[in-house]
């Protein structure tokens, strides 16, 4: 290429670059001017549209929106989702409590029963030793003590049996109430 055509190409590219730069600078100022003009027009015409807009917004927020919300909240799908969320929360909390504190009524009853059995077995061992000792001394006093201990043990066993029966009765009542509530919701 000759040097004259190279200079022409350079001049044309400079000219086109300058127009692009001018256009790029013109767009932000044009956008600002358009926004200012539209805000000014809205402010000047506000006595015409503001009351109507306020009444439409009040109607939407006070009547239409609550009706839509209640229709959605009382739909079976929404109630199903909310119910499942509650159940998931309760199951998660119960697992958390079981890991943290294993103290329940069943565990308490079991621990008391184990302690009583251990106490009974130690009493039996001491009673055998006492019988051997009393065989030499005399068995009159020992017979009275054994009757008292047996009476106490029977009272403790009766109390334990009563507590277990009460627990079983509560569980049965709870299950029947749950069954009734399940059948009542199906109607």
Residue % of the chain over a pLDDT of 70: 69
> Is the whole model's pTM more than 0.75, yes or no?
no
Strand, helix or coil for residue 104: coil
Do 107 and 175 lie in one domain? The reply is yes
Domains identified in the chain, total number: 2
Ramachandran category for residue 6: left, alpha or beta (phi over 0 → left; psi -120 to 50 → alpha): alpha
Asked if the structure places residue 165 within a domain, the reply is yes
- If asked whether residues 134 and 166 sit together in one domain, one would say yes
Query: What's the pLDDT score for residue 134?
Result: 54
Question: Considering the domain boundaries, does residue 158 fall inside one?
Answer: yes
User: What mean pLDDT do residues 114-134 have?
Assistant: 64
Reported as a single tens digit per residue, the pLDDT across 57-83 is: 888 888 888 888 888 888 888 889 999
Please provide the DSSP assignment of 19-62 as one string.
HHHHHHHHHHHHHHHHHHHHHHHHHHTHHHHHHHHHHHHHHIII
Say if residue 25's pLDDT is above 70: yes
| Claim to verify: residue 149 and residue 120 sit in the same structural domain | yes
Q: Which structural domain range is residue 88 located in? A: 51-101
Q: Please say if the pLDDT value at position 176 is more than 70.
A: yes
Residues 93 and 133 in one domain: no
Task: Decide: 113 and 161 in contact? Cβ < 8 Å.
Answer: no
Helix 3-44 vs helix 46-59: crossing angle, to nearest 10? 70
Report pLDDT for 6: 80
Model pLDDT, residue 115? 82
Say whether both 176 and 152 belong to one domain: yes
Q: 148 with 75, same domain?
A: no
Could you give the C-alpha distances from 18 to 27, 28, 45, in angstroms and in order? 15, 17, 41
Please state, as a whole number, how many other Cβ atoms lie within 10 Å of the Cβ of residue 116: 15
Same domain, yes or no: 66 and 124: no
Both 176 and 111 in a single domain? yes
């Amino acid at each position: 290429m000759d040097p004259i055509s190279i200079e022409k190409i350079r001049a044309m590219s400079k000219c086109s670059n300058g127009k692009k730069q001018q256009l790029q600078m013109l767009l932000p100022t044009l956008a600002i001017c358009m926004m200012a003009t539209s805000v000014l027009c809205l402010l000047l015409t506000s006595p015409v549209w503001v009351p109507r807009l306020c009444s439409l917004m009040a109607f939407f927020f006070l009547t239409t929106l609550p009706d839509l919300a209640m229709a959605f909240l009382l739909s079976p799908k929404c109630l199903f989702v909310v119910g499942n969320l509650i159940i998931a929360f309760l199951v998660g909390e119960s697992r958390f409590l079981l890991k943290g504190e294993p103290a329940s009524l069943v565990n308490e009853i079991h621990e008391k029963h184990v302690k009583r059995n251990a106490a009974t077995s130690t009493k039996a061992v001491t009673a055998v030793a006492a019988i051997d000792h009393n065989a030499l001394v005399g068995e009159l006093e020992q017979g009275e003590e054994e009757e008292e201990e047996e009476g106490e043990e029977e009272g403790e066993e009766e109390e334990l049996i009563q507590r277990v029966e009460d627990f079983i009765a509560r569980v049965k009542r709870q299950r029947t109430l749950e069954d009734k509530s399940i059948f009542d919701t199906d109607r």
